[in-house]
Structure 1
Amino acid sequence: MELGRFWWWVVLILVQLGMNGCFGCWEQEKAALLQLKASMNFTADIDPLRTWNSTNKNSDCCDWERVKCDNTTGHIIQLDLYDMIRLGREDWCLNASLFLPFEELQHLDLDANWISRWVPNEGFERFSALRKLEMLYLANNNFNNNILSSLSGISSLKLLYLSYNKLNGSFHIPAFSNLEDLYLDDNEIDDFVTTTTKGSNNLPKLQVLELGWNKVNARIFKSLTTFTSLKILRMRGNNLEGSFTSYN
């Protein structure tokens, strides 16, 4: 009986491997990569994703540039799509649903794409379905204050880069229950609002906060008192002048 159960599991594993072509990336993820590339409308002479093509049926998308797969499962875990839109277009109209087939995605880099808009109802809120996404790089884009609330549904997020965007004034930081590193430098922030509920705060695990080169002044320190796990705070290039109150 035990031997029969063992062979049943062997057959099941072989079937799973067969669905994945035994080696390499998953066919549905390969198709999703090609659809994602098509949405960027590269011209023939300007194509930073030349290796992303379907001409070779045996091509393993885990070997494509800017793609990293898990060595065991073959699922895509990292996409480095920084600086995709640089010649011939003003920005990238994002369709976040195109990333949803990458269910094991842990690391996504969209830096320097000048993203400021997305397909209606297909914004970053859709990323809440990416349950394993931990690192999200969105620096050098055109996001305003609303981007934080759009991202708050990504409960797995540990690192968020929003440097060099259009965050400004005073705004509310929503809850990120697992966020450890938050980079907000080189914006026009002067303060932000945090909330606490029954003794807990909305960034309970935050350890690194980068606020350099904004417009914050001494009143920011009152907001920072809610970050009880904070270890590193960078605030160079701001308006910290004169005397201010120390908060415990």
Structure 2
Amino acid sequence: MGRVFGLLFQILLLHFQVYRPLSTPSSFLDSAHLCLPEQRAVLLEFKNTISLDDYCDDYPRTNSWNESTDCCSWDGVSCHVVTGHVIGIDLSASCLYGTLHDNSSLFHLQGLQRLDLNFNKLDGSLLENSSLFHLQGLQRLNLAHNNFNGSISSKLFNQYV
């Protein structure tokens, strides 16, 4: 019985050594520079089109976004550890305000799987033909507690919640 347990333990240990690096958040990979230059440019363009609310008590995550650092290490940004593509953006409660336009640079991140912009002061029109809804890999979308107008069909709503 002890031998079987030992073998099982070694298999589990090997499993975590092989598969864990693929699921490790990019913040643990400080020495790796994964950010693709065009993705950094897209994120910085978004940052420059949105303002920060000076009267906000929350921490604006975009403060860590600058051209001299790896965008995969920026607050609120998650990258695929192999390809370096941005797969997640969490800017919830980040003191953002302004208009999220239909042609926002964020919608050019084709590998984006998760986008969380809740608890900001963003506005704009949520049209079903918006570029936002054409992100093929998008699995989770949170735009709650903003000032968007328009309506989203139940089909699109159910796709992202």
CA distance in 2, matches of 1:60, 1:147: 36
CA distance in 2, matches of 1:67, 1:36: 13
Q: Larger C-alpha radius of gyration, 1 or 2?
A: 1
Please give the secondary structure, in 2, of the residue aligned with 1:25.
Answer: coil
1:114 to 98, 109, 121: 121
CA distance in 1, matches of 2:145, 2:81: 31
TM-score, normalised by the number of residues in structure 1:
0.44
| Aligned: 1:53 with 2:59 | no
In the alignment, structure 1 segments of 5+ residues that lack a partner are 1-21, 150-172, 182-248
Aligned counterpart, 1:142: 147
Aligned counterpart, 1:68: 78
Identity %: 30
Deviations 1:12-44 (A, max 9, x none): xxxxxxxxxx94111001001111111113489
Aligned counterpart, 1:41: 51
Deviation, structure 1 residue 178: 6.5
Residues 122 and 178 of structure 1: CA distance in aligned 2, closer, same or farther (over 3 Å): closer
TM-score, normalised by the number of residues in structure 2:
0.64
> What amino acid sits opposite 2:40 in the alignment?
K
Deviation, structure 1 residue 117: 2.1
Q: Where does 1:72-221 land on structure 2 (aligned, <5 Å)?
A: 72-85=82-95, 91-97=97-103, 98-118=105-125, 125-144=130-149, 146-149=150-153, 173=154, 175-176=155-156, 179=159, 181=161
Q: Which has the higher helix share?
A: 2
Runs (4 or more) in structure 1 with deviation over 6 Å come to 121-124
Aligned counterpart, 2:40: 30
Superposition RMSD in Å: 3.2
